[in-house]
Structure formats: C-alpha cells, structure tokens
C-alpha cells in the first residue's frame, strides 16, 4: 500500500511518501510560478528559475487566501486561490512520487486550521486534480497528532502527551490524552495558540534567542503545571536547532517528564491516519478538531418502544457526518435533540420548534429532516412538511435552522 502525508501551511508543505516500507521526504515552499507566455505552472526549483529569469510570476499565500475564498493574481489574470492550492498539491504529489505509480495511493492532507466551509470546498475540488475522493482525506493537526501517538501506545500509557510546534510565525501547544469508554480507547486532543507575534527571526541574534527561551520557558511552566504530562514532543522549524532553548528544555523535563523531537510529526501523523482509516473497526475513537465532540441523537418511539436514533457518533468526521430521515411527530410543538457529554460540556437537550407545520390533528404530519454540521459548534437542520399520504399532501412548508450545540 502507498501512503502520502502532506502537512500544509501557508509557507511550507512537508510531504512524506511511504511505499512498501520505503520513505521519500520533500519540503516545499507553498508557492507557484506561472509562465509568462502560457497557462503553465511550476513549483520548487523550476519555479524560482523561471521567476529569476523573468519568464514567470510567483504566487504566494495560497492557503491563507483559499481559507478566505480569495483571489490571487498572476500575469494580470485573477485566479481563485483554492484552485491554485489544489494545483500546487497536484504538482507537489507528482514531484515526491517521482516515477512511482499512484494507482492505490492514499493521501491525507493536514490543515493548521480546520475551517469546515473551506474544507468542504477543497475536498470537492481535489478530485478534479487527480485526488480520488475515496482515497483522499483532509484532517486537522490535532487529528494528525492523535494518529501519530496512536502508533506509539507507550507514550499515552504513561500519561498525557504534550506537543510544542514552533513554526515560522506561530507557536502552538497541543495536548493529548486517552480515556477508556465502554471498553474502547478514545483519544482526545486540543490546541492552544500561544503567541501569534512569535517569529523565527527572534532566533537570529543572541538577545533574541534569550528572549525566545524565556517566552517558551514561561509558557511550558504554565501549561504543564498541575497536569499529568508524562512526555512532551517538539516539532516545527524553530526546533531544528535546540541550543538556544536550554531553559525551556529544563522546564519540560521537570518531574521526570520525557522530551522527544520529531521533525515530520504532522506528515507522519497523516500517514498513520491513512492506516487507521483502513482499520476503523479496531482503531481508537478520535475526538478533536474536525470531528464531532459528542454523540447527537433524537429520542423516538419505534413499535411502541422508546429508543435513541443516533444521528452523529462522537468522533465522526464533521465533513461526512449528516444525513436525512423521515419522522412522525407525536405533536407539532418541538423536536428534541440530545447532545451527549463531551469535552465541551455536560449532556443537554436542545429544542427545535415545529411551529411551521400546518394545523392538523396529532400524528398526521410526516416531517422530512436533513442535517449536517455548519461548523464544530453548530448543526444545520432543514425540516420539510412531507404531508400524510393521500389524506394530506405535502404543504411545502420548510424550516431551515442553525442549532448551536455549545456556547
């Protein structure tokens, strides 16, 4: 089996291709170059050669503009940024694969910010650029982190696992823990963005190095205090050289915590996510950005017995969660949604008013329901009067409502 993990940011793309135990790594700038004379595009060294020779125009900011649904300009022509991003991914894949055939290739693309509307658009677009939908996934960095440590069970068995990611312009901290629920392993992860103004330029002078070490030391002491972290992993370009961070490393290793470094953590996590998807029945349940934080269900009666109709399982992908069904309300007052307990809060019941339905006797109005996630906090519901057989034809009344799951 072939796997391709792509850790994507607005500046770089870190690729890891695994085929029959062999690995190929590639680090690219997330940039394109358009030929001045024709609509042809290049990446990496070929792109810079074209631009330096005056035969092409460089285009940057592919991911940031795609998330904003923005436009980018090359050779006086406007392009949708998300299409250029998809084109970049296609060229990057071609470069890392080389002469390898990709007939059975599974690809996981890791995004630093999992914004569902953008993820939906990119996922719909990628098949046009040679990424089959059934073998391509888009995941959050939190999910990639969980997939990575799921392949290292000894890490979680000892306690919580922390991760510091120091990139060119950001410093993030991730936390992961394991919990057994009904005999199944559930892995939880969350992210904290620590300092938006942090840049690697701080490490260009001795004074900047000392300041950076102080910032990270204070952050580590605050984040690791009163928690059961057994190990901490470092990743990101900022940790390629470690000599400047002695105070930070000492703060991490207090209390016999273990310190690890993994340069390609997110791309390796993407490869592990590919493998987990092949063993979904035995794989741990992942609760993190990009996945449902709790079960959502609907109390119903079936053949006179009360039961729960599960709409969304905890850990289900927000991108694919959703569906449609038909129900017969006992009255026309409300629809009750049950949101299970999860990392965002206690279990609760939410009411969706059914006042849009026509006046009829009880149990004489079918309702067609369709739902999907608007984002990780909201579910978009669409309810339609489906009538009642030949007695009451569908009236055409429709209710579209956003239901907020957590404050």
pTM equals 0.92
Assign 3-state DSSP to the chain and report helix, strand, coil percentages, each to 5.
Answer: 30, 40, 30
User: Is residue 88 within 8 Å of 18, Cβ to Cβ?
Assistant: no
Reading the block at residue 75, the tokens are: 């050779």
Same fold, 2-131 and 143-287: yes
Its sign, for the CA torsion 115, 121, 124, 128, is negative
- Give pLDDT, residue 197: 60
| 225-253 pLDDT, tens digit each | 988 999 999 999 999 999 999 999 999 99
Comparing C-alpha atoms, which of 245, 268, 405, 244 is closest to residue 339?
A: 405
Return d(Cα 188, Cα 253) in angstroms, integer.
23
Q: 2-131 belongs to which homologous superfamily?
A: ATPase, nucleotide binding domain (3.30.420.40)
Return the SS3 of 123: helix
Of 110-119, 287-296, 336-345, 381-390, which gets the smallest average pLDDT? 336-345
**Residue 103 predicted with pLDDT over 80:** no
pLDDT averaged over the chain?
Answer: 91
| Three-class SS of 85-96 | HHHHHHHHHHHH
* Short-list 269, 264, 268, 8, CA closest to 145: 269
Higher pLDDT, 331 or 253: 253
Q: How far is CA 362 from CA 309, 327, 329, 334, 351, in A?
A: 21, 13, 8, 13, 19
Cβ atoms within 10 Å, residue 301: 11
More confident residue, 84 or 181: 84
Convert the pLDDT of each residue in 175-188 to its tens digit.
999 998 877 889 99
The helix or strand, by DSSP H or E, that contains position 301, with its residue range, turns out to be strand 296-302
pLDDT (0 to 100) of residue 196: 53
Residue 234: per-residue pLDDT: 97
Find the mean pLDDT for residues 98-102. 80
Residue 31 has pLDDT above 80, yes or no: yes
* The architecture CATH gives domain 143-287: 2-Layer Sandwich (3.30)
CA distance 358 to 361: 10
Per-residue confidence (pLDDT) for residue 154, from 0 to 100 = 87
Distance CA 351, CA 298 (A): 11
Q: Which residues contact 218 (CB under 8 A, 6 or more apart)?
A: none
Alpha helices in 239-323 (DSSP H): 246-252, 265-278
Domain ranges of the chain: 2-131, 143-287, 296-404
Q: Which residues pair with 276 in a beta bridge?
A: none
Whether the pLDDT of residue 14 is over 80: the answer is yes
Strand partners, 326: 368
pLDDT in tens, 311-324: 999 999 999 999 99
d(CA 318, CA 117): 11
Using CB atoms within 10 Å of the CB of residue 391, give its burial: 0 to 12 exposed, 13 to 18 middle, 19+ buried: exposed
């Amino acid at each position: 089996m072939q796997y391709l993990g792509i850790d994507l940011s607005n500046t770089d793309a870190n690729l890891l291709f695994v085929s029959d135990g062999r690995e190929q790594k590639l680090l690219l700038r997330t940039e394109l170059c358009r030929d001045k004379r024709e609509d042809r595009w290049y990446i990496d060294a070929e792109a810079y050669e074209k631009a330096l020779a005056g035969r092409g125009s460089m285009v940057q900011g592919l991911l940031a503009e795609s998330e904003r649904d923005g436009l980018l300009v090359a050779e006086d022509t406007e392009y949708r940024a998300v299409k250029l991003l998809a084109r970049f991914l296609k060229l990057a894949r071609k470069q890392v694969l080389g002469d390898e055939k990709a007939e059975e290739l599974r690809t996981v693309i890791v995004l630093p910010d999992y914004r569902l509307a953008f993820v939906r658009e990119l996922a719909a677009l990628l098949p046009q650029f040679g990424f089959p939908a059934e073998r391509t996934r888009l995941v959050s960095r939190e999910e990639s982190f969980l997939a990575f440590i799921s392949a290292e069970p000894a890490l979680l068995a000892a306690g919580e696992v922390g991760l510091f990611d120091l990139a060119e312009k950001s410093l993030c901290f991730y936390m992961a823990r394991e919990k057994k629920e009904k005999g199944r392993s559930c892995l939880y992860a969350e992210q904290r963005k620590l300092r938006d103004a942090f840049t690697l330029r701080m490490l260009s002078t001795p004074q900047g190095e000392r300041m950076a070490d102080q910032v990270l030391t204070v952050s580590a002491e605050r984040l690791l205090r009163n928690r059961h972290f057994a190990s901490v992993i470092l990743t990101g370009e900022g940790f390629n050289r470690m000599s400047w961070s002695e105070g930070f490393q000492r703060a991490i290793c207090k209390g016999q915590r273990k310190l690890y470094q993994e340069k390609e953590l997110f791309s390796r996590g993407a490869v592990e996510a590919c493998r987990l998807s092949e063993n979904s029945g035995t794989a741990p349940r992942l609760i993190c950005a990009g996945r449902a934080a709790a079960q959502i269900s609907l109390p119903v009666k079936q053949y006179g017995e009360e039961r729960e109709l599960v709409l969304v399982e905890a850990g289900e992908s927000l991108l694919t969660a959703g569906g449609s069904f038909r129900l017969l309300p006992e009255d026309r007052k409300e629809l009750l949604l049950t949101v299970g307990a999860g990392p965002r809060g206690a279990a609760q019941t939410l009411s969706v008013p059914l006042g849009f339905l026509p006046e009829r006797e009880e149990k004489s109005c079918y309702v067609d329901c369709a739902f999907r996630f608007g984002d990780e906090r909201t579910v978009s519901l669409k309810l339609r009067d489906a009538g009642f057989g030949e007695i009451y034809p569908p009236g055409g009344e429709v209710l579209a409502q956003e239901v907020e799951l957590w404050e």
